[in-house]
Each structure stands twice: as structure tokens, then as C-alpha cells.
């Protein structure tokens, strides 16, 4: 391997870390009030739901799939919460997670057993899921007052917000699942070559259903946390366009859309990078229009660097 090739390769693998460090340096030097604890906490709290969704998305993309329904599942989780909050926050949260699990398993069933392409299979739930959430909520935004439930989104442990702790914990669990379990190896094998995995006798369908179910549950967790932070159930706006944010973070983090590889730390960094970009643009008072165009350029640049050569 020539030096240039090695360098390109290194950049492909570590580009997202370089970008995060560069942006942090830039902000430390040129952004007022950036290096404050308050600011870091705000940024992390905002990024937590995206990270949780992106973790599930990374697993799905690792199987050469994609889950467009995550935003709709968040909306469903949000719509479920007020229905059961009367019976206690634990019941409400459990019900929301069960709905997420069911939605994800259904996606997985369509992909694995029926053999529908992931984009189309999850598109159906994206189209119908939010409508269903709105039907459940009768189109209403419901204010929530249960203090125990609201603590989830606003409380902290030793100064670290609970939602951030949950997101970090889930990232560690997903990393462990991917790198240290049979399930993780099977998942990557299926994404690399589904036919070969089938021929090798791997339980392809079971793993696929499992992966989509995990993605559904994680989306529901994100929906619960975001609802708690909002102190309201808002199925009309909850998780809108979340599928695009999550896919962007995963891809920017170096997990290829072609499957066969899952980079959990890269995904975390992808979420951090996109959040940093947004924060930087906002703190320098750039309008939304410029912010969106710059985000588009970053996505292209990241994918261009990480792309597989022909």
C-alpha cells in the first residue's frame, strides 16, 4: 500500500473523529460561551434522542436495511403515554416500549419473512404510523403533569441529565451486542452477504426480526424521553424527519449503507458531529437556510470520503 492509499484509508476510517475535534477546536477559539458546562449539557440533552434512534438505525443499516419508520414510532410512543399515565409512569413507559417493539418486529417480519425491501416495508409504517398516532390522540397535544414521568426528561444524576445517561448506557449495550455476541456477528454476516449467511445456516430471519425489533424499541425510548422533556404528548411533531437525522448520523459515522459493518462509536460521533454543526451555526447566528445547505455539504463530504472505491 502506498503512503497516499494508507492516508486515504486512515481518513476513511477516522474522518468523523477528525471533524469532531476540528469543530470543537474551532468553537473553543471562536465561539463565545461555548466551553461552558451549561452549553455542553444542553447540546447533549438535545442529541440524546437522536443518538438512541441512530443506534438502532446503525444495526438495521448493518444488515443492509434501513428503517424509515423511526419517527412515526416515536410519535406512536408519544401518543400512548397519556393513555396510561394514570396507571403510573412505569405502566405508561412499558406500554410505549411494547408498541415500539411490536412495530419494529412487524417491520422485521415484513423484511425477513415476507421478503419486502426494507425501504418499502418501513415506508408503510412511516406513512401510516403518524396518522395512527394522531388518530389515537384525536389530533390533540396533551400536556403532561406527572412529576415522576417528567423527571426522566429534566432530572439529573450528579449533574448529568438522565436522558444523556440512558443514551450513553444504550450506546455501550449496543456496542457490546455488536462486537461481543453471536447475535452481533450474525447481524454483520447477514448484512455482508445474506445468501451466504443463509447457506451457512445462520438464523437469518430471526436475527432480522430481532434487529428491527431493537430499532423499534429504541425509537420508542427516544419518543418517551423527548415527550418527557417536552412535558407534552405531541404526535403531530414528535420525531418528524427523525429517520433522516438518524440515517445521516449513521452514514457520517462511517457505517456503509451497503451493510456488513456496524460502527457504534462512529455513530455516536456522527450524532455529536451533526449536533456540533447545528450548534455552531446557531451560535454564529447563521439562518436556517444556510444551516441546511451546510449540513447537506457535510453529508456529501463525509460520504465522499468514506465511499468504497470501485
Partner 1 sequence: MTTPMTTLTAATRTKVLQRQGAAVALVLMVAVSWLVFPRFGSLDNLRDLALQGSFLAVIALGMTFVIITGGIDLSVGSLYALGGVLAAWGSQYGFLVALALPLLVCGLIGLINGLLIARTNMAPFIVTLASLLFARGLLLAITDEGANTYQIPPDSAFVELGRGTVFGFGYPIFIAAVLCVLGGMILNRTSFGQNVFAAGGAEQSAILMGVPVAKTKILVYTMSGTLAGLAGALTAAYLQSGVTVIGVGTELDAISVVVIGGTLLTGGMGTVLGTVIGVGLIKVIQNVINQIGTLDSNYQSVVSGVFLLVVVVLQRILRR
Q: Cα–Cα distances in Å, from 264 out to 55, 141, 243, 253, 300?
A: 7, 34, 17, 8, 21
CA distance 233 to 226: 9
Cα 264 to Cα 18: distance, rounded to the nearest angstrom: 16
Our finding on whether 114 is near partner 1 (CB under 8 A) is yes
Q: How far is the CB of 7 from partner 1 (least distance, A)?
A: 19
Can residue 9 be called a binding residue for partner 1 (CB under 8 A)?
no
Q: In this structure, are residues 248 and 299 in contact, taking their beta carbons and an 8 Å threshold?
A: yes
- Residue 143 bridge partners (DSSP): 232
Q: How many CB atoms lie within 10 A of CB 21?
A: 12
- Interface residue with partner 1 among 21, 200, 257, 265 (CB under 8 A) is 257
Tell me: does residue 244 bind partner 1 (CB under 8 A).
Answer: yes
Phi, psi of 157 (to 5 degrees): -120, 120
| String of contacts with partner 1 for each residue 19-58, x by CB under 8 A | ----------------------------------------
User: What interhelical angle do 70-84 and 89-109 show, nearest 10?
Assistant: 150
CB of 238 to partner 1, least distance (A): 14
Using the minimum distance from each CB to partner 1, give the nearer residue, 55 or 61: 61
Under the binding rule (CB under 8 A), the answer on residue 117 touching partner 1 is: yes
Which residues make Cβ contacts (< 8 Å) with residue 223, sequence separation at least 6? Answer: 49, 73, 74, 75, 76, 77, 78, 96, 100, 238, 239
First to last CA, the chain: 17
Taking the complex as a whole, the smallest distance from the CB of residue 121 to partner 1 amounts, in Å, to: 7
Q: How far is the CB of 297 from partner 1 (least distance, A)?
A: 8
User: Residues 138 to 167: which contact partner 1 by CB under 8 A?
Assistant: 138-139
291 part of the interface to partner 1, by CB under 8 A = yes
Coil, helix or strand at residue 233: strand
State yes or no: residue 128 binds partner 1 (CB under 8 A): yes
User: Rule CB under 8 A: is residue 102 a binding residue for partner 1?
Assistant: no
Which residues of this protein are in contact with partner 1, per CB under 8 A?
66, 68, 110, 114-117, 119-121, 123-132, 134-135, 138-139, 244, 247-248, 251, 257-258, 287-293, 295-297, 299-300, 303-304, 307-310
Amino acid at each position: 500500500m502506498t503512503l497516499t492509499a494508507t492516508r486515504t484509508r486512515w481518513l476513511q476510517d477516522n474522518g468523523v473523529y477528525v471533524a469532531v475535534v476540528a469543530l470543537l477546536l474551532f468553537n473553543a477559539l471562536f465561539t463565545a460561551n461555548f466551553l461552558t458546562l451549561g452549553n455542553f449539557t444542553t447540546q447533549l440533552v438535545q442529541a440524546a434522542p437522536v443518538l438512541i434512534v441512530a443506534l438502532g438505525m446503525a444495526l438495521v443499516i448493518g444488515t443492509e436495511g434501513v428503517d424509515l419508520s423511526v419517527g412515526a414510532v416515536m410519535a406512536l410512543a408519544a401518543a400512548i403515554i397519556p393513555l396510561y399515565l394514570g396507571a403510573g409512569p412505569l405502566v405508561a413507559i412499558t406500554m410505549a416500549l411494547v408498541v415500539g417493539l411490536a412495530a419494529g418486529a412487524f417491520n422485521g417480519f415484513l423484511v425477513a419473512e415476507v421478503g419486502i425491501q426494507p425501504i418499502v416495508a418501513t415506508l408503510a409504517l412511516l406513512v401510516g404510523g403518524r396518522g395512527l398516532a394522531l388518530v389515537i390522540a384525536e389530533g390533540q397535544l396533551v400536556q403532561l403533569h406527572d412529576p415522576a414521568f417528567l423527571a426522566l426528561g429534566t432530572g439529573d444524576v450528579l449533574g448529568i441529565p438522565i436522558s444523556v445517561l440512558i443514551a450513553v448506557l444504550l450506546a455501550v449495550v449496543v456496542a457490546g451486542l455488536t462486537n461481543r455476541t453471536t447475535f452481533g456477528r450474525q447481524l454483520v454476516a447477514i448484512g455482508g452477504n445474506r445468501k451466504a449467511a443463509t447457506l451457512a445456516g445462520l438464523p437469518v430471519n430471526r436475527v432480522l426480526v430481532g434487529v428491527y425489533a431493537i430499532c423499534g424499541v429504541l425509537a420508542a425510548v427516544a419518543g418517551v424521553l423527548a415527550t418527557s422533556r417536552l412535558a407534552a404528548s405531541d404526535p403531530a411533531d414528535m420525531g418528524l424527519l427523525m429517520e433522516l437525522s438518524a440515517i445521516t448520523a449513521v452514514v457520517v459515522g462511517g457505517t456503509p449503507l451497503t451493510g456488513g459493518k456496524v460502527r457504534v462509536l462512529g455513530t455516536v460521533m456522527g450524532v455529536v458531529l451533526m449536533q456540533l454543526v447545528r450548534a455552531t451555526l446557531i451560535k454564529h447566528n447563521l439562518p436556517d437556510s444556510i444551516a441546511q445547505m451546510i449540513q447537506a455539504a457535510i453529508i456529501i463530504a463525509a460520504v465522499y470520503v468514506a465511499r468504497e472505491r470501485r
